[in-house]
Chains A and B, each alone.
Chain A
């Protein structure tokens, strides 16, 4: 048996149920790893060692009882996990990576978190993120950058960089993230993980500190498609507290061990293999697509003609929604307040001091795009072009079952590489943004390494609610390759 901290979700759950180790032992092993490596990696913002140990002991009792009564224990009983710090966990701080929420302790659980707790998980803590999930490197966190466990001079990606680094480094077996423009798939890609962005409306956003409400999704960063599927099953489905969740029960994903992808039609969009994409990324992704072809998939080139407009559309819609969502941080009900005799001054100074540069920038862009005289030219036009981007995918999925493309144009970049040039940073998400605009699910999986031993990742995109298909193909690939099993855990 491999070391406890190197377990997958599947093997951890198997071991717990078989009594090979207890949840207490497992949780302790991860807390030890966190104590040893988090001071340098900065992946966790809050470590809940005490409550985690308490939950682990309670889980052990339930496991013992279930064994005695031959009852079926909750599916994730005793499994340690971490939660991105934009999701609320009752009684734990929720900073969203921002100074403005430094002292905020919510009294309720996000629905995604509640469902995982109902399934028996042990929460180890909250993970670092770009402020309000706005960024692609975690350099925008008010609490310091997260280091990439593969190379500590590089970023782990973002905004779910804390979750990505924590899982990659073996500080936790699996973590929740959120994806508004690539914030799960891109850090998963840069850290060599399997990252699942769910369909908009599949997992409740209740308790997710809102960034772009028509784009925000909750998903998973894991070591394998199998692990991601287990977490997805526990979270997905209608929630009366989120009116945009789709009614009815979400179908349970069951991955076929001998996954057959024979005859599956995969489209490769030519607009994702453009100048500016690193040659090593292209060849790694092409090799992975050939591998899928060898497994029986039928591969053909397709076109998503409006791809180049995704970035400008996103950088109107997301900041516009953010500027509205972040209006609530005004120093009245929670978070920071900078005192002033004048109410408007109090609002404005609180926000001026509480928000970091990227958040301010996006509030400014969004406010401008929504302001009188500019609304139609910017926001209205962006909503229309969003329809065209969605239409590209609708057309594509009439011809193919899935789309395969690079997850990112490059591998993990150096800390500071894009400092001072926001537009350059935005371009890091150029291949992940379109899925959020269309609302479709996406999966990134590691498919190789570049010459500097940094992970290269493939992105799979499918029609609305096709998480099962994406994970099945990811699983099939991971059955015949071992890229996803290679970790930086031993070289920290």
Chain B
């Protein structure tokens, strides 16, 4: 099933991924080809098959809920593009749909 340009724009929005017009055209074609190949899976009857969600079959065990050493705040903030007063700084959130 070939994707439309609108499909590509919708997926890019969901993924928060800015694409140029040229990228949209190229991805429309390439993604359509890839999805076409992937659709081969539809030919298998899997009604009675359980989905595989993990390689590790054993039930994961929760560790004890005790506080351990945390990474120093300054180490983590050092990689931030913008930080102030021990916090990450971002553009306004509430009026971002203005």
Contact = CB atoms under 8 A, between A and B. Distances in A.
Interface of A: 103-108, 200-201, 214, 240, 243-244, 246-247, 308-309, 311-313, 315-316, 323, 327, 330-337, 339-349, 351-353, 355, 357, 360-361, 363-365, 367-368, 371, 377-378, 380-388, 390, 422-423, 426, 438-439, 464
Contacts of B16: 327, 330, 344, 347-348, 351
Interface of B: 3, 7-8, 11-12, 14-20, 23, 27, 30-31, 33-35, 37-42, 44, 46, 49-56, 58, 60-61, 63, 71-72, 75-76, 78-82, 88, 90-93, 96-98
A390 B55 CA distance: 9
A244 B80 contact: no
Contacts of A353: 18
Kindly list the 10 A-B residue pairs having the minimum CB-CB distance in the complex, ordered from nearest.
Answer: A352-B18, A439-B55, A383-B51, A337-B81, A107-B75, A384-B46, A334-B79, A343-B96, A200-B55, A387-B52
Contacts of A349: 18
Contact of A423 (B37, B46, B98): B37
A312 B37 contact: yes
A378 B31 CA distance: 14
Contact of A332 (B49, B63, B90, B92): B90
B53 A343 contact: no
A378 B38 contact: yes
A103 B42 CA distance: 43
Chain B binding surface SS class: loop
A77 B3 CA distance: 56
A342 B58 contact: no
B17 A360 contact: yes
12 contacts: A103-B79, A104-B79, A312-B38, A344-B97, A348-B16, A351-B15, A355-B17, A360-B19, A364-B8, A381-B42, A388-B44, A438-B55
Nearest to B82: A337
A342 B80 contact: no
Given A106-B79, A352-B19, 4 more contacts: A244-B56, A341-B91, A363-B15, A383-B53
A201 B55 contact: yes
Given A243-B60, A355-B17, A371 B38 contact: no
Contacts, number: 171
B30 A346 contact: no
Contacts of B56: 200-201, 244, 246, 439
Nearest to A199: B55
A342 B92 CA distance: 7
A322 to B, nearest CB: 11
A377 B42 CA distance: 8
B27 A364 contact: yes
A58 to B, nearest CB: 23
Contacts of A346: 90-91
Nearest to B48: A384
B57 to A, nearest CB: 9
Contacts of A378: 38, 41
Contacts of B72: 107
A47 to B, nearest CB: 21
Contacts of B96: 342-344
A35 to B, nearest CB: 29
Contacts of B8: 364
A368 B31 contact: yes
A390 B90 contact: no
B38 A361 contact: no
Contacts of B15: 323, 351, 363-364, 367
B38 A387 contact: no
Contacts of B3: 368
Given A316-B38, A381-B42, A371 B14 contact: yes
A246 B60 CA distance: 9
A125 to B, nearest CB: 20
Given A336-B81, A349-B18, A388 B49 contact: yes
A312 B40 contact: yes
Contact of B46 (A104, A381, A439): A381
A346 B82 CA distance: 13
